[in-house]
Structure 1
């Protein structure tokens, strides 16, 4: 996929070798883009001796020839308008494309970013209903990365879906790793997001071949640190005066004792806390990621954490039980907590499920 040079011209000429029965010569329009031509029959004709081949127009001040020139100017403006629109939309510009649009019988190709944005809009409309916020944001981030990549690599903001090939995919992978600093597993997630769009394009017959046919995703195995019971107790017992760290400590402990994912705790509401017939309390909630229903016993420590934040102002307005910050802030504050608790292991929102097995 090469960069576009955008050389463009429009020329009118007559075909003297194909005179009509009335002796007039048909007028043609030649569109040239990057040295490649396409001819358009504009259904107008003129006497050969009434044509100025240097200016590409009819000569004479009578009504007939003035109307011919007015039509030629209208056609020229229409072609320039088509060219500007294709350029503004970041779509591929060829002489044949302009010719087909001029004739009115052309469907512009399905574009990658245009299609991706439509997909993301549907996901955003269903956010917190069918899709987690993190999933929606990751798809939107994929679009931003693709636009940056194409501007840098191909000097365009969008490409036809059928232009995506092995080279495009591997170069995008290299861009994510080198320009965005993503590790292998994160890179694979962005590639899979792109593959979802191309798979949809195949199903809707917008493209005929799978550009990912020879692409094999390779994820690296990660060994996350987990805390033992002694280390968890140390974090629980630590006297923390800073409110933001105290809140993050409580959220982390709650995740560790329940085994719930960060996003599940963030969306935890009163309706998810239920009491069984034996008067024991349980968390009954569908997982945000899988939508699988889970039943988790509400132990004393996480129950006390819920009680602690029950009367906090501002957090109950949307019905959420805990003031969970963003994932990025959580991980940043957990580093501080690990330091003040003299724990050398790396704490993150992902390590809570491993901690649950240590309790």
Structure 2
């Protein structure tokens, strides 16, 4: 069993502190032992694809079908924001017609059980259509032939080498890409992005806005250099 990193420990402690507060409120314990314990999360670099990198992966013709399938499912999540577990469990019943007359994903996040309502963008719909006759899909209720989590991340590492993108991609980078490159960078309000991601707190989504701000700052610095020259 892999050892927990600092942020993993802090998430467990966060839940434990909530339980202790509840126990104190209900007079199950006289004193909350976690009251003075401070949660200290370490800032981690968020890996996501830029617009050019996403296009590069989409345009690449792979010789191995496993790479093509894995790339397509990764791109699907770049345009829906679904994490690995949710896309693996995505079934035909989860595609419904929304209020606008277009196809939407209606499901719940496995991790938090929060409701997800995601309008299907053209790129995501194209990938669903592409795999509707795949043997693994055609003979079952699932929508996409998703590999195991271990194989998925292995193929992603191989894909990034083939397309020469110098980033350590995991499947979760698709969710980050959806939040940053696909939605926020194109002017989608952060409140809408938060709903699409299934976040229960807006503060959880605001980390993506900070990433976008840093990108703007970097681009303006480059512009200043060009204007100065």
TM exceeding 0.5: yes
Find the aligned partners of 1:316 and 1:246 in 2 and give their Cα distance.
Answer: 18
1:52-77 deviations in whole A, cap 9, x for unaligned?
A: xxxxxxxxxxxxxxxxxxxxxxxxxx
Where 2:136 maps in the other structure, the secondary structure is coil
Structure with greater proportional strand content: 1
Distance in 2 between the 1:262 and 1:238 partners?
22
Matches within 5 A, 1:97-108: none
User: The residue matched to 1:249 in structure 2 has which SS?
Assistant: helix
Report the equivalent of 1:268: 90
Residue 257 of structure 1 pairs with residue 79 of structure 2: yes
In structure 2, the partner of 1:107 is none
Residue 358 of structure 1 corresponds to 181
- Tell me which structure has the larger Cα radius of gyration: 1
Deviations, residues 15-53 of structure 1 (Å, cap 9, x unaligned)? xxxxxxxxxxxxxxxxxxxxxxxxxxxxxxxxxxxxxxx
Match of 2:148 among 312, 318, 326: 326
Per-residue Cα deviation, 1:119-161 (whole angstroms, up to 9, x for no partner): xxxxxxxxxxxxxxxxxxxxxx7xxxxxxxxxxxxxxxxxxxx
- Larger relative contact order (Cα-Cα within 8 Å, sequence gap ≥ 6): 2
Q: CA deviation at 1:247?
A: 2.1
Write the distance in 1 (CA, Å) between the matches of 2:134 and 2:84: 20
- Root-mean-square deviation over aligned CA pairs: 2.9
In structure 1, what is the Cα distance between the partners aligned to 2:60 and 2:15?
42
What residue number does 2:157 align with?
335
Distance 2:168 2:145 in 1: 23
User: Could you tell me which residue of structure 2 aligns to residue 292 of structure 1?
Assistant: 114
Deviation at 1:317? Answer: 5.7
Shift of 1:321: 1.0
Displacement after TM superposition at 1:252 (Å): 0.7
Cα distance change, pair 187–329 in 1 and its aligned pair in 2 (3 A): farther
* TM-score (normalised: structure 1): 0.44
| TM-score w.r.t. length of structure 2 | 0.65
How many residue pairs get aligned? The number is 180
Structure ranking higher in helix proportion: 2
Residue 305 of structure 1 corresponds to: 127
Out of 225-234 and 336-345, give the one that drifted further.
225-234
Deviation at 1:238, TM superposition (A): 1.1
Residues 190, 245 of structure 1: CA spacing in aligned structure 2 closer, same or farther, 3 A cutoff?
farther
Q: Deviation at 1:263? A: 2.3
Asked if structure 1 preserves the Cα contact closer than 8 Å seen for 2:98 and 2:119, the reply is: no
Contact 2:103 2:119 in 1 (8 A): yes
**Cα distance in 2 for residues equivalent to 1:224 and 1:238:** 24
Among candidates 62, 65, 70, match of residue 240 of structure 1: 62
